[in-house]
């Protein structure tokens, strides 16, 4: 007898309930009350099918009911996508997500530093809201007046349950329009923007007064580490006496890029270690060589994820100060794996710690010198404090 695996699961259960026996690797099957012969099934496979029924039996019932009773013919592909997304959403983790092939392609493009969209970097706050970390300079989002701290609510009047689906909705072909609903100071606002091709330049550098070098890192993407090394080399050629590394409003990005940047700043040792649910640790280390000029790290409440790895390592090292406000507190790492059909799973797999074992997630990094900027003032008190500390050395 040849039957579908889906039906075999149910038939095996019927056989079990009605006295079917497992003997010599066979299972007696009864279908619609009629003895249906035997199919060779090992006890191991039988237990596997039994487990499948316990785990997905209700889902199978729901699927049949939707397929047979919904007022119109359901789209099976959309139903399947909904199942996969719902399974991952059940974790209650805003950073884990199932991505369709199209969503994964869009997400991958954004990590390469060029994509079509509006130019917003956002994360989630403690309330699970989507909060703007920064806007990329000279993009539709910046021109429309979006600011760090704004709460993102909807795209084209539709809400989304994961960061990736919200981000995918914001993206689209350059020249097309998108409506964004957001909240600022408790007031809801709407803005319509025209999408553009975004080229995210993650490194900016210059020489400030008193021969102090300045490097701003806006995020960590595939090219960031190489661009940082290039900027650092240029400043060293100009014989800067000190360096300000600005990680404010840096929402993170690719961990490897952050580790490569940290490797330029720290001597030989651990930059961070990661730990999974089983207690297994993975150590990420820096090499012996490092820059030979003093530096100050600027951080704020929107310094998150990969940028916090660097901030935590520099603070534990204790040789160069941090200036600003306590960082965001996202100390978890996502691993992304492509599935056979081109879709992908992005899953939070590990939590990372400072070299000395300090927890980052939910706590953040407290700076050596706490300095707050007044949003109503154009004076950058945090940068001025960094320059003061470097001038004193």
How far is 91 from 110, CA to CA, in rounded Å?
25
CB atoms closer than 10 angstroms to residue 293 = 18
Write down the catalytic residue from 50, 334, 343, 351. 334
CB atoms closer than 10 angstroms to residue 199 = 12
Tell me which residue of 321, 246, 257, 305 sits closest to 284, measured CA to CA: 257
| Alpha-carbon distance values, 11 to 19, 44, 48, 58, 173 (Å) | 12, 17, 14, 15, 50
| Phi, psi angle pair for 182, to nearest 5° | -145, 170
Write down the catalytic residue from 106, 167, 219, 305. 305
42 is catalytic: no
Write down the catalytic residue from 85, 171, 330, 385. 330
How far is 196 from 306, CA to CA, in rounded Å?
27
334 is catalytic: yes
Q: In what order do the strands lie in the sheet with 242-246?
A: 203-208, 212-217, 242-246, 295-299, 322-324, 369-370
Q: Which residues of 298-334 are buried (b: 16+ CB within 10 A; e: fewer)?
A: bbbbbbbbbbbbbbbbbbbbeebbbbbbbbbbbbbbb
How far is 295 from 231, CA to CA, in rounded Å?
14
378 is catalytic: no
**The two structure tokens encoding residue 362:** 């939910």
Please, which residues bridge with residue 322 across strands? Answer: 297
Tell me which residue of 203, 202, 353, 215 sits closest to 296, measured CA to CA: 215
Residues with catalytic roles: 305, 330, 334
């Amino acid at each position: 007898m040849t039957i579908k695996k889906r039906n075999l699961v149910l038939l095996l259960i019927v056989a079990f309930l009605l006295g079917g026996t497992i003997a010599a690797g066979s299972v007696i099957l009864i279908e619609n009350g009629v003895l249906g012969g035997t199919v060779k099934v090992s006890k191991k496979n039988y237990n596997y099918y039994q487990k499948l029924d316990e785990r997905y039996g209700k889902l199978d019932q729901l699927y049949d009911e939707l397929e047979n009773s919904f007022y119109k013919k359901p789209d099976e592909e959309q139903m399947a996508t909904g199942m996969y997304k719902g399974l991952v959403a059940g974790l209650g983790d805003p950073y884990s997500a199932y991505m369709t092939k199209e969503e994964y392609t869009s997400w991958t493009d954004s990590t390469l530093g060029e994509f079509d969209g509006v130019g917003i970097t956002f994360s989630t706050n403690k309330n699970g809201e989507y909060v703007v970390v920064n806007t990329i300079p000279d993009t539709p989002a910046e021109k429309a007046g979006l600011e760090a701290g704004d709460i993102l609510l909807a795209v084209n009047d539709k809400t989304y349950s994961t960061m990736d689906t919200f981000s995918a909705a914001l993206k689209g072909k350059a020249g097309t329009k998108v409506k964004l609903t957001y909240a600022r100071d408790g007031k809801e606002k709407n803005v319509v923007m025209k999408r553009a091709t975004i080229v995210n330049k993650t490194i900016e550098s210059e020489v400030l007064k008193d021969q102090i070098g300045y490097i701003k890192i806006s995020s960590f993407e595939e090219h960031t580490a190489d661009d940082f090394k290039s900027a650092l080399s240029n400043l060293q050629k100009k014989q800067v006496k000190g360096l300000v590394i600005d990680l404010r409003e840096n929402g993170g990005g690719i961990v490897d890029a952050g580790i490569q940047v940290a490797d330029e700043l720290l001597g030989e040792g651990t930059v961070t270690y990661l730990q999974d649910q089983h207690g297994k640790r993975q150590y990420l280390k820096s090499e012996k060589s490092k820059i030979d000029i003093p530096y100050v790290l600027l951080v704020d409440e929107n310094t998150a994820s990969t940028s916090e790895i660097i901030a935590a390592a520099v603070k534990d090292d204790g040789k160069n100060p941090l200036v600003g406000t306590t960082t965001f507190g996202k100390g978890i790492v996502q691993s992304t794996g492509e599935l056979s059909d081109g879709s992908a799973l992005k899953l939070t797999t590990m939590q990372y710690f400072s070299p000395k074992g300090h927890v980052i997630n939910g706590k953040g990094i407290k700076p050596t010198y706490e300095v707050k900027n007044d949003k109503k003032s154009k004076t950058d008190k945090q940068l001025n404090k960094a320059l003061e500390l470097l001038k004193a050395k």
